Amino acid sequence: MMKRNVFYVIGIFLAAAGVARAAGVVSAGEGGMAGAPPFDGRASTVAVKAAGRQLEQATVHFLISPDARQQDGFISIFSHDGWAQGMVHILLNNGSVNFCVNGMRMAGGGQNDFHTRVRARPGQWSFVAITYDAKARRVTCFRNGLQVDQCALEQAPPLDFGHAGHLGSWEGRSRFFTGRLAGFVVEDAVLAEAEIRRLAAAYNLMDTPKPPRAEESVLPETRRAVAAAGAREIVFVKRRTYDSNHYYTEYINSSWMPGSRLCVLDVATGAVRDVVPQMAGGVFERFDVSFDARRIVFAWKGKHEEGYRLYEVNADGTGLRQLTFPQADEADLVAKYRKYPHYHHGTDDLQPCYLPDGGIAFVSTRCQYGILCDGPDDFTTTVLFRMDADGANMRQLSRSSVSETGPSMLPDGRILYTRWEYVDKGAVSVKCLWAMRPDGTASSEVFGNDVALPPTLNFGRAVPGAPNLYVVAGVPHCPQNNVGTVILLDMTKPIRTREPMTYLTPQVDIRAEPGFAFREDDGDPWQNDGGGRGDLFANPYPLSADLFLVSHKPAELGDWKAPAGYGLYALDAKGAVRLLHRDADTSCWHPIPLAPRPVPPVLSTALDNALAAKNQAVCMVRDVYHGLVGVPRGTVKHLRVLEQVPRPWAAQCKGFHDEYDQQHIAITKDTHLGLKVQHGIVPVEADGSAHFTVPANANIFLQALDEHHMAVQTERTFVNYMPGETRACIGCHETPESASAFQNEQKSAGQPAAFARKPSAPSAQPGEARGQRPLHYETDVQPVLDKHCARCHSGAEPKGKLNLSGERTRLFNVSYESLVPERRKGRDNRDRGLLGQVIGENHPKTGNVHYLPAWSLGSPTSLLAAIIGSPTRADDPRGLVKKHADVAAKVTPEERLRVTNWIDTNAQYYGTWWFRRNTDIFRDHPDLRRAPTFDDAVRMTEK
Express each pLDDT in 421-458 by its tens digit. 999 999 999 999 999 999 999 999 999 999 999 999 99
- Alpha-carbon distance of 153 to 112, in angstroms, equals 9
CA-nearest of 718, 726, 770 to 611 is 726
Q: What percent of the chain has pLDDT over 70?
A: 92
What are the residues whose beta carbons fall under 8 Å from the beta carbon of 44, sequence distance 6 or more?
Answer: 37, 38, 168
What residues pair up with 237 in beta bridges, in sequence order? 262, 589
Q: How confident is the model over 393-404, as pLDDT tens digits?
A: 999 999 999 999
What average pLDDT does the structure give for the chain? 90
Closest by CA position to 633, among listed 684, 673, 583: 684
Q: How many CA atoms lie within 13 A of 117 on its CB side?
A: 24
**How confident is the model at residue 160, as a pLDDT?**
87
How many angstroms separate the first and last alpha carbons of the chain?
80
Which pairs from 932-938 meet CB under 8 Å and 24+ separation?
A: 932/774, 932/776, 933/774, 934/677, 934/770, 934/772, 934/773, 934/774, 936/774, 936/911, 936/912, 937/645, 937/675, 937/677, 937/774, 937/911, 937/912, 938/643, 938/645, 938/677
Which residues share a beta bridge with 586? 583
What pLDDT does residue 209 have? 73
For residues 131-152, average pLDDT? 90
Q: How many other C-beta atoms lie within 10 A of the C-beta of residue 943?
A: 7
- Mean pLDDT, residues 230-243 taken together: 97
- Cα separations in angstroms, 190 against 59, 481, 742, 911: 5, 35, 70, 63
At residue 19, the pLDDT reads 33
- Going by pLDDT thresholds of 50, 70 and 90, the confidence category of residue 40 is confident
Q: Which of 373, 374, 351 is nearest to 362 (CA)?
A: 351
Whole-prediction pTM: 0.85
More confident residue, 227 or 94: 227
Mean pLDDT of 294-317: 97
Q: What is the pLDDT of residue 575?
A: 93
Helix (H), strand (E) counts: the chain:
14, 55
Per-residue pLDDT band for 497 (boundaries 50, 70, 90) equals: very high
pLDDT above 90 coverage of the chain, percent: 73
Asked if residue 411 has pLDDT above 70, the reply is yes
Residue 530 and residue 480 in contact, taking contact as beta carbons nearer than 8 Å: no
- The whole-number pLDDT of residue 903 equals 98
Asked if 77 and 116 touch (Cβ cutoff 8 Å), the reply is no
Question: What pLDDT shows up at residue 73?
Answer: 67
Would you say 698 and 643 are in contact if contact means Cβ atoms under 8 Å apart?
Answer: yes
pLDDT digits (tens, 9 = 90+) for 2-37: 445 555 555 433 322 233 333 333 333 333 576 677
Alpha-carbon distance of 45 to 266, in angstroms, equals: 61
Read off the pLDDT of residues 96-130 as tens digits, 9 standing for 90 and up.
Answer: 888 999 999 887 555 777 878 788 888 889 999 99
3-state secondary structure 602-616: CCCCCCCHHHHHCCE
Residue 388 has pLDDT above 50, yes or no: yes
Helix/strand/coil percent split, the chain, to 5: 15, 30, 55
Using alpha carbons only, give the angle 196, 200, 202 rounded to the nearest 5 degrees: 115
Residues 736 and 741: their CA atoms lie apart, in Å, by 9
- pLDDT (mean) for 76-80: 88
Answer with the residue of higher pLDDT: 538 or 215. Answer: 538
More confident residue, 537 or 204: 537
The listed range with the strongest mean pLDDT (51-65, 145-159, 579-593, 649-663) is 579-593
Which whole number is the average pLDDT over 223-228?
96
pLDDT in tens, 902-933: 999 999 999 999 999 999 999 999 999 999 99
* C-alpha distance from residue 715 to each of 619, 700, 852 (Å): 14, 9, 10
The widest CA-to-CA distance across the chain, in whole angstroms, is: 95
Strand partners, 435: 416, 444
Query: Of 55-69, 223-237, 676-690, 842-856, which gets the smallest average pLDDT?
Result: 55-69
Question: How does pLDDT run across 681-710, given as a tens digit for each residue?
Answer: 999 999 999 999 999 999 999 999 999 999
Distances, alpha carbon 703 to alpha carbons 12, 109, 687, 712, 717, in Å = 68, 44, 17, 7, 11
